[in-house]
């Protein structure tokens, strides 16, 4: 009996429920990955994620050949048509996968399951969340809209068992089925910046988790807010591609003697991710439409020049520019910087959150449709349990508080390196003569602020108050 394992956002062998169930019903299996070319534009991979996917799939292929002496078959096109062809060619009797929760995937998977279930065994599983969206509802069976009660529900309902081991009893289910060459997909080109900073794949995910638990999680609740300290988990991209499961991470936290405060703070981050997924499931239009319909009439500015300066990290606000340059170079941005840069775009510049979300999807290695859409709406104020409209980050005060030594700014905005710790967050307060001595000419070597903070704040408050 031969079955197909359809990999999607679960590029791992350990703690893979679809793989476990398949191993209990079949002896032979065919692992496949299908690059879906029917995706909605908001769900297509950006440049950094294409690089990550390429390397993650190669890593998974190596693991499959190591454990089962079977290659991962690669296909590109319409998943339903490709799976039908594979079933006919290999006479497979089973099809297994782990679920996705965006609207496109849900409708696609429903069609595929309906088309196959009368002739072969078709099963799907939860391989991405601690609790699926239909299992975390309020007493009136409606979804949570506020995080705190959602988190409390999770903490009282989670039952975390030991992670699933890699099954050992499977064999290559087809010696004749030939897929495509992943190299021909053109997903990636040499990128030294990404290669030096990231290690895609299941092995890299477990190494990152180990490093985090052994070191960075100590004092996590405090250090996580400082961009220069490199004390966040950096597991987000591994989670996005399913190279490690939240269930495995949670169990690892429980199995280690960590300070309860630090453990709980990181657990909150994991549950926040789940909150994003649940909201997307219950509100499929989240990537395109305002959750709060009052924002449908918000007078967003259509200023392409300001938007371009924001993307390039040339706003004249050093913390904002440092974050945007970190993003463009590494495919990642510290969470504090994400909040500040997103607030600056939507509230100082009054540019539609959807434009910022689209840019993040294009550049981030951890771009995740649920988290990206939810968090952009949270910052803009249009989402569920959103940041209050009067919360407008002052990028200078944020820099003084969370980059007091200027280390983060110096790394990503090197033209300001020679300024003192008290000057580097706001170079415009330094006299022209003092700047000139250090080789800085505002408006030439580094831009002047593209908007006055206080004026931008007052304008934003006016429009937000008049919604």
- Catalytic residue numbers read 269, 272, 300, 335, 353, 376
d(CA 242, CA 237): 8
Q: Considering only the C-alpha atoms of the chain, give the largest distance between any 2 of them, rounded to a whole number of Å.
A: 80
DSSP letter for each residue of 114-155: HHHTTTSEEEEE--S-SS-GGGS--TTS----SHHHHHHHHH
Please state, in angstroms and as integers, the Cα–Cα distance from residue 79 to each residue in 39, 50, 119, 264, following that order.
11, 18, 18, 40
Q: Nearest Cα to 15, choosing from 72, 94, 98?
A: 98
Collapsing DSSP to helix, strand or coil, 97 comes out as strand
Backbone angles phi, psi at 42, to 5 degrees: -70, -15
In Å, what is the CA distance from 408 to each residue of 191, 319, 329, 362? 22, 8, 14, 23
Residue 261 CA: distances (Å) to CA of 217, 258, 433:
10, 8, 49
* Cβ atoms of 242 and 128 closer than 8 Å: yes
Helices (H), 344-449: 353-363, 369-380, 395-402, 407-412, 432-437
Burial letters 243-281, b for 16+ CB under 10 A, else e: bbbbbbbbbbbeeeebeeebbeebbbebbbbbbbbbbbb
Distance of alpha carbon 124 from its chain centroid, rounded? 23
Residue pair 343/392 in contact by the 8 Å Cβ criterion: yes
Question: Do β-strands 94-98 and 2-7 pair in parallel, antiparallel, or remain unpaired?
Answer: parallel
Kind plus residue range of the DSSP H or E element containing 102: none
CA distance 141 to 147: 16
Among 61, 77, 74, 69, CA closest to 13: 61
- Could you give the C-alpha distances from 373 to 42, 134, 189, in angstroms and in order? 10, 20, 28
| Length of the chain as a residue count | 467
Q: By the 8 A CB rule, do 33 and 7 touch?
A: yes
Instruction: Output b/e per residue, 312-325; b: 16+ Cβ within 10 A.
Output: ebbbbbbbbbbbbb
Token representation of residue 402: 């969370």
């Amino acid at each position: 009996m031969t079955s197909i394992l359809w990999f999607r956002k679960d590029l791992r062998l350990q703690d893979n429920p679809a793989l476990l169930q398949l191993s209990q019903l079949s002896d032979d299996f065919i692992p496949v990955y299908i690059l879906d070319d029917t995706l909605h534009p908001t769900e297509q991979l950006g440049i950094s994620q294409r690089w990550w996917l390429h390397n993650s799939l190669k890593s998974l292929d190596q693991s499959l050949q190591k454990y089962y002496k079977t290659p991962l078959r690669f296909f590109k096109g319409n998943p339903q048509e490709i799976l039908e062809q594979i079933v006919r060619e290999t006479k497979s009797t089973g099809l297994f996968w782990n679920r996705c929760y965006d609207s496109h995937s849900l409708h696609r998977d429903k069609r595929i399951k309906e088309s196959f279930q009368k002739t072969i065994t078709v099963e799907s599983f939860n391989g991405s969340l601690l609790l699926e969206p239909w299992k975390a509802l309020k007493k009136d069976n409606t979804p949570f809209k506020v995080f705190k009660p959602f988190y409390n529900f999770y903490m009282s309902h989670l039952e975390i068992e030991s992670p699933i081991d890699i099954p050992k009893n499977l064999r290559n289910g087809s010696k004749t089925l030939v897929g495509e060459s992943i190299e021909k997909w053109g997903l990636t080109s040499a990128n030294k910046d990404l290669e030096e900073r990231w290690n895609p794949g299941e092995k890299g995910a477990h190494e990152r988790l180990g490093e985090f638990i052994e070191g960075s999680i100590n004092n996590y609740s405090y250090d996580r807010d400082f961009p220069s300290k490199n004390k966040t988990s950096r597991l987000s991209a591994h989670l996005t591609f399913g190279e490690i499961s939240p269930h495995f991470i949670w169990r690892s936290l429980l199995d280690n003697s960590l300070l309860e405060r630090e453990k709980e703070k990181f657990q909150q981050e994991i549950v926040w991710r789940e909150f994003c997924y649940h909201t997307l499931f219950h509100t499929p239009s989240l990537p395109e439409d305002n959750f709060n319909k009052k924002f449908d009439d918000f007078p967003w500015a259509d200023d392409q020049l300001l938007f371009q300066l924001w993307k390039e990290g040339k706003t004249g606000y050093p913390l904002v520019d440092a974050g945007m340059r970190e993003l463009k170079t590494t495919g990642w941005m510290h969470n504090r910087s994400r909040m500040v840069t997103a607030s600056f775009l939507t509230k100082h510049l009054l540019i539609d959150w959807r434009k910022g979300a689209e840019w993040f999807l294009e550049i981030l290695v951890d771009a995740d449709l649920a988290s990206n859409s939810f968090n952009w709406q949270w910052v803009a104020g249009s989402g569920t349990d959103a940041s209050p409209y009067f919360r407008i980050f002052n990028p200078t005060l944020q820099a003084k508080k969370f980059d007091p030594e200027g280390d983060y700014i110096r790394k990503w905005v090197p033209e300001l390196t020679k300024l003192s710790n008290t000057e580097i967050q706001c170079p415009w307060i330094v006299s022209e003569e003092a700047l000139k001595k250090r080789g800085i000419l505002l408006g030439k070597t580094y831009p002047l602020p593209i908007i006055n903070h206080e004026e931008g704040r007052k304008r934003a408050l006016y429009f937000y108050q008049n919604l």
